[in-house]
Amino acid sequence: MIINSLKLKNIRSYIDEEIKLREGSTLLSGDIGTGKTSLLLAIEFALFGIIRGQISGTSLLRHGAKEGSVELSFSLEKNNVTIKRVLRRGAKAISQEAGYIIINNLKIEGTPIELKAKILELIGYPDELLTKSKSYIYRYTVYTPQEEMKHILFEGKDERLDVLRKIFGMDKYKRIKENTIQYIRELKTLKTALETRIEDLDPKQTELKEYDERVNLLNKDIHEVAVELKKITHKLSDKKEKLTTYEQEMKEFAEIKRNISLRKLELNNKKQGLESNQRELRESEDKITNLKKQLKDFDTTAFDAIQKKIRENEDRQEILETNIAKINERETEFKTKKSTSEDIKKEILELDKCPVCRQQVTEDHKHSVKLKEDNNISRLNHGIQELLVLKEKRDKEITELKARIEVLNRTEREMEISKVKFDNLKEFITRSETLKSNLKITGEEILFLQKEIKRFEEQTHKYSLTEKHYDKEKEHVEEIRALYNEAIAKQASFSATKNEINDKKQRLETEINIKLVSKNKLVKVNETQNWLMKFFLNVTSLMEKQIMMKINQEFNEHFMDWFNILIEDENLNVRLDEEFAPIIEQNGYETYLDNLSGGEKTSVALAYRLALNRVINDFISTIRTKNLIILDEPTDGFSTEQLDKLRDVLEELRIKQVIIVSHEPKLESYVDNILRITKNEHMSRVIA
C-alpha cells in the first residue's frame, strides 16, 4: 500500500489542504503543535472511520465548521483507490455521514461501516475487525503513536500479553480456554442436576416390574371371565332366539286382538251412524211433505219477472234523475247570464265616459246596448221557463216510478219467502237421496265387519298357550342376562384396573426413559468433562504456547537486531522474556527500563516497534500494508550520534514508503522527501 495524496477540509487546524506523497522516505517536519499528528489521524480516519477511544468526530471536525471531510488516495498492488469520509455537525453531536470509495474509476457509495468493510477487504485485514473499536494490526504495523508504544512497554504483563494476543489473533485461544472453563463449570452444574434426576431410577424400575406382574395376573382374570362370558353369551343367544319366536307370536296375537277391537269399535260407530241417518231421513221426508203443501201455488218464473221489472224501473229512475241534474245546471247557467246582462244594462245607463278610451258615451250607444241586453234577458227568461216546465214533468215521472217500484218491492219480498222455502225443499230432497244411499252402504259395511270379527276371533284359539310360554322363556332370559351382566361387570372392573395400572406404568416408563436419557447424558457429560479437562485444555494451551514461543523467538531476534543498530554499546543489551517484556542488561546486570536515559528508552521503544512490525507482517500473510510504515517522533531524546543511526534504520527497513513525523532538522538529510508544516492563527498549511 502506497499513499499518493491526502485532502482535508475543516479537519482540526486544516481548512482546505491537499498533500502529495511519494514512495521512499518522507519527513513531516514542523514545530510541536503545528498539525503533523493531525495528518496521521486523518489518514487513519479515512481508512477506518471514527474509532471509539482513539479518533472521535469531535476531535477531528474543526471548531465552528458545519462539515468536514478527508479524502485519501493510495495504490494497492494493481489498484488505484480513493476513499472519502464526511463529518457533519448536528444539533447535539458530530456524526459520520455516508461517503464513497473509488476503485480503478469505479465509484461505490456507502455507509461508514460499508466503507470500512471494503477497506478491510482491500488491505487484507481480518473481517472480525469490522465490529471492533480498535485496529491493533494497523496501529502496530503502520502507525503507532510513540507514547502508545512506550505505554505497551511499561504496562503490566497481563495487559501487554492481552494486547499482543489481539494483535496476532491469539486472543482466540484465551477466549477458547475461558469459554472451555466456563463450559466445564456448566457441565459440573449439569452433572449435579443429572445425578439428582436419576437418584430414584432403580426404585422406579423395581416398581415398573411390580406393575408388569399385576398386569399379567389381571390378563389371566380377564381371560377367564372372557371364557365364561362366551358360554353365557351362547346360552343367552339360544334363549333369546326362542323368546324372539314367542315374541313374534305375541305380536301376531296382539295384532289380531287389536284388529278385533278396531273392528268392534268401527262396527259400533257404523250402527250409531245408521240409526242417526234413519232419524235424519225420517225428519227430511216430513219436511219435504210440509214444504210441498206450502208451495203448491208458487211459480219461480213469476218471481224472476218481478225482479226484471224492478231493475227496469230503477234504471229509468236513474236516467230521469240524471236528466233533472242537467236541467238544474242549465237553469243555473241561464240565471247567471241573465244577471250579467242586467248588470251590463245598469252600468251602461249610468256611464258618461268610456273607462278605456275616455271618450263620451252617446245616448244612442246606451240605447243600443240596452236594447241588446233586453233581448238577451227576454230570451233567457223564456229558456228558464221551459226548463222549469220540463223539470216539473220529470219530477212527476220520478214520483210515479218510485210508487211503482215500491209496489214491486213489496211483491218481491212476499215472493222471496216462498223462494227460500223452495230452495230448502230442493236441499231436503237431495239430502234424502244421499241418506238412502248411505243407509244401504252402511248396512253392507256392518255385515262385512261382523264377518271380519268372527274370522279374527276364530284365529285367537291357536295363541291360547303362547303368553304362558313367553313368560317362562322371558324369566329364563332374565336369569341368564343377570349372569351376563355380572360377568361384564367383572370384565369391566378388571379392565379398568388394568387400564389404571397401564396408565401408571406408562407414566412410570416415560419417567424412567427420561431418567435413562439423563443417565446416558450423564455418561456423555462425564466423558466430555474428562476430555476437556485432560486433553482439550492442555492441547489448546500447548498450541498457544508453541505459537507464542515461535512469535517470541522471532520477535526477540528482530528486537535485539534493531536495538543493536540504534545503540552500539557492548555493555547495554536487550532481550525479551517469555511474556514479551524487554529485559535490560547493563554491565552484565539486569536493570529496569526506568533507569535508562531518554534516548535509550526511545531506542528500546523504536526497536520494539520495528520488531513488532516485522513479526506481524511475517505472521499475517494476508496483510497488504507491508510497504508502508509511519514513525511518529521516533527520535525523542536521541543524541546526535543516535540520530545518525536512524539513517541505518531507514536503509535496513527496506519498506517502499516511510513517513516520519519529527521536528528534528537533522533528519532532513536522511530522507527522500520533506513536507514542512506551519501554523498561523490556528490554521495549518503544508509546504512541499
Give me Rg for the CA atoms of the chain. Answer: 69
pLDDT at residue 402 in the model:
84
Q: In this model, does residue 675 exceed pLDDT 90?
A: yes
pLDDT at residue 685 in the model:
94
Which residue range forms the structural domain that includes residue 10? 1-142+625-688
Q: In this structure, is residue 620 part of a structural domain?
A: no
Query: Would you state the cell numbers that stand for residue 152, as one nine-digit string?
Result: 505497551
Q: What is the DSSP string of 606-642?
A: HHHHHHHHHHHHHH-TT-S-TTEEEEESTTTT--HHH
Mean pLDDT of 619-638: 87
pLDDT at residue 72 in the model:
97
Q: In this structure, is residue 646 part of a structural domain?
A: yes
Query: Would you state the cell numbers that stand for residue 629, as one nine-digit string?
Result: 510504515
What H or E segment, with its residue span, contains residue 17? strand 14-20
**Distance (Å, whole) CA 87 – CA 10:** 9
Query: Would you state the cell numbers that stand for residue 601, as one nine-digit string?
Result: 528508552
Q: In this structure, is residue 241 part of a structural domain?
A: no
pLDDT at residue 356 in the model:
66
Q: Classify residue 595 by its DSSP letter.
A: G
CA angle 39, 42, 45 (to 5 degrees): 155
Out of 409, 435, 461, a domain closes at 461
pLDDT at residue 21 in the model:
94
Mean pLDDT of 339-352: 82
Per-residue model confidence as pLDDT tens digits over 319-331: 888 888 898 888 8
Per-residue model confidence as pLDDT tens digits over 281-323: 888 888 888 877 877 766 667 777 777 888 888 888 888 888 8
Q: In this model, does residue 463 exceed pLDDT 80?
A: no
Query: Would you state the cell numbers that stand for residue 141, as one nine-digit string?
Result: 504495523
Q: In this structure, is residue 543 part of a structural domain?
A: no
Per-residue model confidence as pLDDT tens digits over 211-220: 888 889 888 9
Contact 67, 16 (CB under 8 A): no
Which CATH number fits the domain that encloses residue 328? Answer: 1.10.287.510
Q: In this model, does residue 633 exceed pLDDT 80?
A: yes
605 contact partners, CB below 8 Å, separation of at least 6 = 146, 149, 150, 153
Out of 438, 461, 484, a domain closes at 461
What Cα–Cα distance (Å) separates residue 256 from each residue in 242, 243, 248, 269?
Answer: 21, 20, 12, 20
Per-residue model confidence as pLDDT tens digits over 103-148: 999 999 999 999 999 999 999 888 777 666 667 788 878 888 766 7
Q: In this model, does residue 574 exceed pLDDT 80?
A: yes
Q: In this structure, is residue 537 part of a structural domain?
A: no
Q: In this model, does residue 567 exceed pLDDT 90?
A: no
Query: Left (φ > 0), alpha (ψ -120 to 50) or beta: where does 677 sit?
Result: beta
**Distance (Å, whole) CA 201 – CA 185:** 25
CA angle 334, 335, 336 (to 5 degrees): 90
Which CATH number fits the domain that encloses residue 681? Answer: 3.40.50.300
Per-residue model confidence as pLDDT tens digits over 11-64: 999 999 999 999 999 999 988 889 998 999 999 999 999 887 678 888 899 998
| β-bridge pairing 683-687 and 673-680 | antiparallel
Per-residue model confidence as pLDDT tens digits over 79-109: 999 999 999 999 889 999 999 999 999 999 9
What Cα–Cα distance (Å) separates residue 560 from each residue in 153, 171, 572, 619?
Answer: 15, 26, 11, 19
40 contact partners, CB below 8 Å, separation of at least 6 = 143, 145, 630, 632, 659, 661
Please tell me the total count of domains within the chain.
Answer: 2
Q: In this structure, is residue 504 part of a structural domain?
A: no
Write down the mean pLDDT value for the chain.
85
pLDDT at residue 355 in the model:
67
Neighbours of 298 (CB within 10 A): 16
pLDDT at residue 19 in the model:
95
Per-residue model confidence as pLDDT tens digits over 428-448: 888 888 888 888 888 888 898
Contact 67, 87 (CB under 8 A): yes
From 244-248, 373-377, 514-518, the region with the lowest mean pLDDT: 244-248
pLDDT at residue 146 in the model:
65
First to last CA, the chain: 22
| pTM assigned to the model | 0.53
Mean pLDDT of 199-211: 86
Per-residue model confidence as pLDDT tens digits over 385-425: 888 888 888 888 888 888 888 888 887 777 777 777 777 87
What percent of the chain has a predicted confidence (pLDDT) above 90? 19
* Helices marked H in 124-170: 136-141, 146-154, 157-167
**Distance (Å, whole) CA 133 – CA 50:** 9
Q: Classify residue 61 by its DSSP letter.
A: B
**Distance (Å, whole) CA 242 – CA 477:** 10
Out of 461, 493, 528, a domain closes at 461
Mean pLDDT of 546-568: 88
**Distance (Å, whole) CA 203 – CA 508:** 11
Q: Higher model confidence: residue 149 or residue 495?
A: 495
Residue with cell 223452495: 422
Q: In this structure, is residue 259 part of a structural domain?
A: no
Query: Would you state the cell numbers that stand for residue 33, as one nine-digit string?
Result: 503543535
Q: In this model, does residue 171 exceed pLDDT 80?
A: no
pLDDT at residue 242 in the model:
77
**Distance (Å, whole) CA 99 – CA 110:** 6
**Distance (Å, whole) CA 499 – CA 487:** 18
What confidence tier does 170 reach under pLDDT thresholds 50, 70, 90? confident
Residue-wise burial string across 605-628, b where 16 or more C-beta atoms lie within 10 A, e elsewhere: bbbbbbbbbbbbbebbeebebbbb
What confidence tier does 65 reach under pLDDT thresholds 50, 70, 90? very high
Q: In this structure, is residue 199 part of a structural domain?
A: no
